[in-house]
Every structure is written in C-alpha cells, then in structure tokens.
Amino acid sequence: MTQELKKKKILVVDDEDNIRFLYKEELEDEGYSVTLADSAEQAMQRIEEDPPDLVTLDIKMPGMDGLEFLKILKEKDKSLPVILCSAYGSFKQDFRVWASDAYVVKSADLHELKLTIKEILEAA
C-alpha cells in the first residue's frame, strides 16, 4: 500500500501581483501547494492559520519590508526556512539577510529559485 507524500506548502510573500501569480503557477507545476500574501501583515496571518514548510519573501514591500518581517519570523520560529527574493543584488551586502536560509535575485527564469527551494526542503 503506497501512501502519497504530503505536498510541501510554500508561502509566497510579494507585493507585486504578477510575481506572486508567476511563482504560484511555476511552483504548483513543481508539485508544491502554494499560498500567497501581498504584505508582511497578510503573511503573518497566513502563517498562523496554516504554517507553511517554506516562505519566499520579497524584501522591498510597502509597510513592513521583508527584512523586518524576516526578523519577526525568525524570532517566532527559527526552523521555518525563508528564501529572500529581491530584484536588487545589493541586498546581499546587508547583514540582515544572513538570517535567511537563502537569497535569490528575482529573474523571469525561476530555475535558481526552484533549485534552492528543492535543496532546502530536502535538507529539512
């Protein structure tokens, strides 16, 4: 009797609709269950309702930015993997990104993001 593996849940946090929907479509094609949030506040609500296995987090967002949210997330649950995603490579120099599990520069090609997600979830 084979038991189907439970789908890994990913929470995509980004204020840009097109990015959220692109990530959702691409990651669901990879077999993940994907939830979306357009702000840190909405993401926190989603995490409390249904904790994900991994979070992809945009850095530049209105209201609370991704780095502030990362700090709060890691204070609540150090074990929750977080991948920071930014269109700006310059954030790699910011020591606050070190709290994340990975840093991926946004691109239309999601190969690096998918590979990073797979590696982190397999290691968990």
Q: Could you tell me the CATH number of the domain that includes residue 96? A: 3.40.50.2300
pTM of the model: 0.91
Q: How many CB atoms lie within 10 A of CB 49?
A: 8
16 three-class SS: coil
Are 93 and 105 in contact by the 8 Å Cβ rule? The answer is: no
Q: What is the pLDDT of residues 29-66, one digit of tens each?
A: 999 999 999 999 999 999 999 999 999 999 999 999 99
Q: Is 1 a member of any domain? A: no
Q: Is 88 a member of any domain? A: yes
Question: In whole angstroms, what is the distance from residue 81 CA to residue 117 CA?
Answer: 9
Can you give the pLDDT at residue 115? 97
Q: Calculate mean pLDDT across residues 16-26.
A: 96
Structure tokens at 12: 């995509």
Residue recorded with tokens 């409390």: 48
Structural domain containing residue 52:
9-123
Q: What is the pLDDT of residues 69-107, one digit of tens each?
A: 999 999 999 999 999 998 876 777 777 788 899 989 888
Domain count, the chain: 1
Q: Is 3 a member of any domain? A: no
